[in-house]
Structure 1
Amino acid sequence: MQKGRVPGFKRERIELEPCSICAGKAVVKGLFYELVCTGCNGSGWVVWGSKLVLSSDELVTQLSFKLQHAQRQIAALKGLPLMSEPQSQYERSNRLGAGGTNYTGD
């Protein structure tokens, strides 16, 4: 038996794109009121390229992966450390002191 990756241990990341019918809004405009989009089953997301609709449990998992990735990107762009160190409050200005100066609470 050959060693290698065993399928099923990690969830596959599926690339998603906004639905082309509702433009990612999950609803379409009816004559008098908004209707649930039938192209994406009211989620606003479809599989990239194939336009397939995911089941609700798979969609929740994939959207969670997408959210976690976006949160990591935001943290990287802000330049904030993931773990706050005690000296970090001395190095950055928090503008809480008199005249907008740094206040450390000492």
Structure 2
Amino acid sequence: MKGLFYELVCTDCNGSGWVVWGSKLVLSSDELVTQLSFKLQHAQREISALKGSPLMSGRQSQFERSNRLGAGGTNYTGD
């Protein structure tokens, strides 16, 4: 909540900001823990997917990754 001079913690939702969609009902503590767990699991899946997938593709990846085809095992790009 926005007070006159500073922000106050919302007493309705205990500062979580999570309410039931379409109404002003507050989520119970059990439901809040469940929903936050779902969000955390989703974020962890997104992070692991981004770590596993190559961010570079095409010609750029040829310059960024070492292919050890050059002299002394250096990166050879063909230019």
> TM-score, normalised on structure 2?
0.50
Q: Could you say what secondary structure the match of 1:34 adopts?
A: coil
How far did 1:79 drift?
5.5
Q: 1: distance between equivalents of 2:23 and 2:2? A: 24
Q: How many residues align?
A: 57
Residues 95-106 of structure 1 mapped to structure 2, 5 A cutoff: none
Residues 26-105 of structure 1 mapped to structure 2, 5 A cutoff: 28-76=1-49, 78=50, 80=52, 93=65
Aligned-pair Cα RMSD in Å: 2.8
How far did 1:40 drift?
2.5
Structure 1 portions without partners, runs of 5+: 1-27, 82-92, 95-100
- Which residue of structure 1 lines up, in the alignment, with residue 61 of structure 2? none
How far did 1:39 drift?
4.2
AA at the equivalent of 1:58:
E
Indicate the structure with greater helix content.
2
Q: 2: distance between equivalents of 1:74 and 1:49? A: 31
How far did 1:47 drift?
2.1
Structure 2 portions without partners, runs of 5+: 54-64, 67-73
Question: RCO (CA 8 Å, sep 6+): is it higher in 1 or 2?
Answer: 1
Which deviates the most, 64-73 or 34-43?
34-43
Indicate the structure with greater strand content.
1
The one-character-per-residue Cα deviations of 1:1-34 (angstroms, maximum 9, x if unpaired) are xxxxxxxxxxxxxxxxxxxxxxxxxxx2211232
- Which residue of structure 2 lines up, in the alignment, with residue 88 of structure 1? none
